Structure 1
Amino acid sequence: MIRIHFTAADLGRVTFPAEPHPLWEAALAARALSDRSVWPAVRRWRRTAAPRVQGSMRPLFKLISPTGMFPGFLIPDVPGPGLEPVVEALTDTPADVIRDQLEPWLPPEIDRYMRGLLDGRAGSRRALGAAVREFHQEVLVPTSSELHQRYGAELGIRSRAVLHGGVDALLSSLHPDVEWSDPVLTTHGPADDWITDVHLKGRGLELYPSPFVTNCLALDSADRRPVLVYPCADVADPSADGADLDPATTDALADLLGRTRAAVLRSLTHPATTTQLARRVGISLASTSEHTRVLRAAGLITTHRTQGTALHALTPTAQPLLSEAHEGTVANLRPDRRL
């Protein structure tokens, strides 16, 4: 059980990352590769992702314990987007911080790599940075389109909760295992025989939805804003019994638009640039531009250009289409809106 204690100031500092953090995703995905208690979507992802894992990525996996724990320095808090700044911050972690976070959990005998990491050796640091970079680029980016769609859909759900009921509605509806009773947010796991208390004290809270977890995780460090990782809503699971079905046989929106174009539209439950959208869906920039052109002509998305960047968002016409398609029906398209 995790109990997060809010003050009045903290309620005004509840935020979400606009898109998944590269190192959070790397740590949680590496953890999920050895965790059998994951959602069907993650099992599908794992079948594709596991063959892409290489031996050179082992330094990352060495930091994930058999119980799923990983050190806080693996997920540095870096302002601004992109993989390289966070990898640089990771490899620059002071040796004393690494020792403080790792040594209590390590056995007496450790291998050469881990000894070098504890001692702050440049070679071990470079190996860790290279492992994280390779894992992100070779495993996560090519395989995570469905999971990124779920992330975007989750942000859409939470945005609507805030619009209709404020922060109280948001915190009350995060997950069936999360209970909000002002001023305490409590997460319940499979066993509540341990309790962790997090006192925000005005630091605020970052909420991080992840398709890679089935239970909540909390990061509480004095030098950064606390983070609560919670499971994404398990949307669009097509089978009642957990079996994997072909989405093309059960997805009315994909029948209408085509699977890729439907994925592009669903990914825009949270606005995205062309580059972000391409990464979410796992297609090329050229293909993304073509799909957004067609969706824009159909009146389903808008595109705003600022300083050379195109930001795409759903129109009010698209919202009921997505909702009705999720229920297995497609309606309210004008006859002249042909795709």
Structure 2
Amino acid sequence: MLRIHFGHADLARTRFISGPDPLWEIAMSLQRFQTRRGRWAYAHWYRTARHRLQDKGLGRTLRTVLLPMFPKGVYFPDFLTPAESGGGLDAGLEAILATPPRQVLSEVAILDRTVGAPSWAPRLAEQTARREFAGILKAYYEAVIAPYQDEVQARVEAERTARGRDLLDGGTEGMLSRLGSTMRWSSPVLHLDYPAEDRDLYLDGRGLTLAPSYFSWNTPISLASPDLPPVVCYPVCYELPASAAGPEFADLSGTASLTGLLGRARAAALVAAAFGATTGEIARAAGVSASSASRHATVLRDAGLVTSSRNGANVLHCLTPAGAAVLRAATRAARGGGGRRIPS
């Protein structure tokens, strides 16, 4: 159990990453190779990833380099998931290269005491070895994560949208109470079902960064060092109440070209999904029955324009990057580049 203690300032400074964190996704995807738990959810990715790695000559590298540094267990080095990777893979890799050698050696020693580090791991304190390791991380990302970038982006954006609705309805504490069954909010403490040792983390005014992850499964994870900027990487999840309120109609002004292309009801469904909408909300926005709204959402999903996530009786529909691009193009063409911003 990890207990994260909030003060009033921490609630105001709690935020979400702006999109998928590439180094956290690398770390979490490597966990998927080491357990059968949840493999059904990643079955297609797992099969294609193994083939892609073999085709790229990375099969042995996966076994001898990557998996030993990201073991499925209670610890992997903090310097492998720096905060800078929120700015993209290259920024994250540069932060890894800039890690002080003393920190690298210290965290490799913790890895060795915890689960056993590979014999070559202490050499990562040297810039040359670390640069080679960063190149391996980039090659792995390009082989098995970049091909799924749109899906990863869509799922993380859907999670951000769902939690943003919770924030609007219940403030930060309301949002923290809806992070899934493995995280429980009991003011002023967030309790996490944590795979590592039982411990407490005091934010002390630093706030918390929440990093929803496509490849994370079941349990959240945090940095081991209490001195680093606090972050929690957790599985994407969707928990919308049946009575969730949403838009009563979709504003189709300025989207005549989109209406001509898709039809009024389907265009309304796409507009409603721009900021997240349940099937019932799409039905109200488009002025159609729930069954018709479901069919429209299915067509948009099959076309790669929306992503749909179910939790119990509720389904949340959000734009994929392709859907956002279509909607932005339609509104930009009609309004000369102005108008309401569509989230990307």
One fold, TM greater than 0.5? yes
Q: CA 1:124/1:261 → structure 2, altered by over 3 Å: closer, same or farther?
A: same
Aligned to 1:148: 153
Instruction: State the number of aligned residues.
Output: 277
One of 111, 114, 119 as aligned partner of 2:121 = 114
Aligned to 2:182: 177
Q: CA 1:139/1:311 → structure 2, altered by over 3 Å: closer, same or farther?
A: farther
Residue identity matched to 1:135: Y
- Secondary structure (helix, strand or coil) at the match of 2:209 reads strand
Aligned to 2:276: none
Aligned to 2:37: 37
CA shift for structure 1 position 31? 1.7
Distance 2:336 2:76 in 1: 40
Please tell me whether residue 261 in structure 1 is matched to residue 309 in structure 2: no
Distance 1:305 1:34 in 2: 48
Aligned to 1:195: 198
Larger fraction in helix = 2
Residue identity matched to 2:221: L
Distance 1:304 1:260 in 2: 25
Q: CA 1:79/1:128 → structure 2, altered by over 3 Å: closer, same or farther?
A: closer
Aligned to 1:214: 218
Distance 1:305 1:2 in 2: 46
Distance 1:208 1:109 in 2: 27
Distance 1:171 1:199 in 2: 16
Residues 154 and 209, structure 1, Cα contact 8 Å, conserved in 2: yes
- Secondary structure (helix, strand or coil) at the match of 1:176 reads coil
- Secondary structure (helix, strand or coil) at the match of 1:106 reads helix
CA shift for structure 1 position 203? 0.8
Q: CA 1:109/1:17 → structure 2, altered by over 3 Å: closer, same or farther?
A: closer
Aligned to 2:143: 138
Q: CA 1:171/1:39 → structure 2, altered by over 3 Å: closer, same or farther?
A: farther
- Secondary structure (helix, strand or coil) at the match of 1:312 reads coil
CA shift for structure 1 position 258? 6.0
CA shift for structure 1 position 128? 0.7
Residues 75 and 224, structure 2, Cα contact 8 Å, conserved in 1: no
Residue identity matched to 1:100: S
Aligned to 2:281: none
Please tell me whether residue 62 in structure 1 is matched to residue 41 in structure 2: no
Distance 1:148 1:112 in 2: 36
Residue identity matched to 2:183: V
Distance 2:102 2:67 in 1: 21
CA shift for structure 1 position 6? 0.6
Aligned to 1:52: 52
Aligned to 1:91: 97
| CA-to-aligned-CA distance 1:174-203 (integer Å, 9 cap, x gap) | 1122211111111235x89x5211111111
Residues 69 and 76, structure 2, Cα contact 8 Å, conserved in 1: yes
Residues 307 and 318, structure 2, Cα contact 8 Å, conserved in 1: no
CA shift for structure 1 position 18? 0.8
Residue identity matched to 2:177: S
Please tell me whether residue 313 in structure 1 is matched to residue 340 in structure 2: no
Distance 1:63 1:199 in 2: 27
Distance 1:64 1:179 in 2: 27
Aligned to 2:295: 252
Aligned to 2:264: none
Residues 177 and 188, structure 1, Cα contact 8 Å, conserved in 2: yes
Distance 1:305 1:216 in 2: 40
| CA-to-aligned-CA distance 1:73-109 (integer Å, 9 cap, x gap) | 0011228622212111112222211111111332799
| CA-to-aligned-CA distance 1:134-187 (integer Å, 9 cap, x gap) | 111221010343333221111111000011111121011111222111111112
CA shift for structure 1 position 126? 1.9
CA shift for structure 1 position 292? 4.3
Residues 19 and 86, structure 2, Cα contact 8 Å, conserved in 1: no
Q: Provide the TM-score with structure 1 as the length reference.
A: 0.69
Residues 20 and 152, structure 2, Cα contact 8 Å, conserved in 1: no
Q: Provide the TM-score with structure 2 as the length reference.
A: 0.68
Residue identity matched to 1:262: L
Distance 2:88 2:298 in 1: 35
CA shift for structure 1 position 34? 1.7
Residues 113 and 124, structure 1, Cα contact 8 Å, conserved in 2: no
Aligned to 1:232: 236
Distance 1:254 1:225 in 2: 40
- Secondary structure (helix, strand or coil) at the match of 1:142 reads helix
Residues 328 and 342, structure 2, Cα contact 8 Å, conserved in 1: no
Long gaps (5+) in structure 2: 240-293, 310-315
| CA-to-aligned-CA distance 1:254-276 (integer Å, 9 cap, x gap) | 64336233337999947x9xxxx
